[in-house]
A = this chain, B = another copy of it.
Amino acid sequence: MRGALLAFAGTVLAGIVAITYAQEIKPDRAIKYRQGALTVMGWHFGVLGAMAKGERPYNKDEAIKRASIVSEVSKLPWEGFIPGSDQGAPTKAKPEIWKEPGKFKDLQDKLIEETGKLATVAKNGDEAALKTQVGATGKACSNCHDDFRNK
């Protein structure tokens, strides 16, 4: 019984520590984090975009590498949109992000779905299919920007 109580107290304490940690994340840090993740995604996606537009020669291995990074990094920015981080550093994030979290989440999921397909298509080595999927992925980016990012 005493052990159970101690274990319970430990769990409560751990919970308090975790909440305190979360509260200590400063908005400016969260803003810079999510911008960093989106910049990294954009950098690698940009290489695929250049291939799709013929500004850069198609290269299967490079496409696989870039698409894999885009797919993985597309999962990352979202935890940076913590409550209260609509300000604290320069940001284009619209307040709608925190007013319509369900809609925002749907658009994140759609992006992650499209970048997953992008990684798969890149591995197939079909240049035309990659081009199509680059377009679909870019559309997922702009759909979210249209609603949730200021110009």
A contact residues vs B (CB 8 Å cutoff): 14-15, 17-18, 20-21, 29, 32-33, 35-40, 43, 50, 54-57, 69, 72-73, 76, 80
Q: Among B21, B39, B43, B50, point to the contact of A55 (Cβ < 8 A).
A: B21
- The verdict on A21 contacting B56 (CB below 8 Å), with A33-B40, A40-B36, A43-B33 known, is yes
Please tell me if the beta carbons of B57 and A14 are within 8 angstroms of each other in the complex: yes
B residues within 8 A CB of A17?
Answer: 54-57
Label chain A's interface by main secondary structure. helix
- Not counting A17-B55, A18-B56, A40-B76, a sample of 5 additional A-B residue pairs whose C-beta atoms are within 8 angstroms of each other reads A14-B57, A21-B56, A33-B39, A36-B39, A37-B40
Q: Among B29, B40, B50, B80, point to the contact of A21 (Cβ < 8 A).
A: B50
- Complex CA gap A39/B37 in Å reads 8
B residues within 8 A CB of A36?
Answer: 35-40, 43
